[in-house]
Amino acid sequence: KRETPPPGGTAPAAATPPAPTASEGPPASPSPSVSVPPTPTTPPTTGAPSVAAPAPGPEVVDAAPAADAEHDAGSYLPAVGAGALVLLIGAAAVFAAKRRRRTE
């Protein structure tokens, strides 16, 4: 079951770090020559999904799911092997045809 955010749209407050004790000393401040950009604050997250629900209607099916797959060495090796076989058969046919002409 999905949890719903509390009314008001606020998330539970994050735990604050403990304050430094006297033995730790004051926190080190950056040197004046170095400028530290302020860190951006992120809004608290809620339990709401970040992606809208799909519209009702027929489901769209990818026509070529293999096009989305990662390409690796296994994808072109069969094509190279088939091409080499075609060239070999073609060369053998030309060789046989020339040899037949010589003997006639």
What's this model's pTM, rounded to 2 decimal places?
Answer: 0.31
pLDDT band, very low/low/confident/very high, at 27 (cuts 50, 70, 90): low
Nearest partner of 47 among 18, 12, 92, judged by Cα: 12
- Give domain limits for the chain: 79-103
Q: DSSP class of residue 16? A: P
Please give the pLDDT value at position 88: 98
- CA-nearest of 8, 82, 76, 20 to 46 is 8
- Res 3 pLDDT > 90: no
DSSP 57-72: SSPP--S-GGGGSPP-
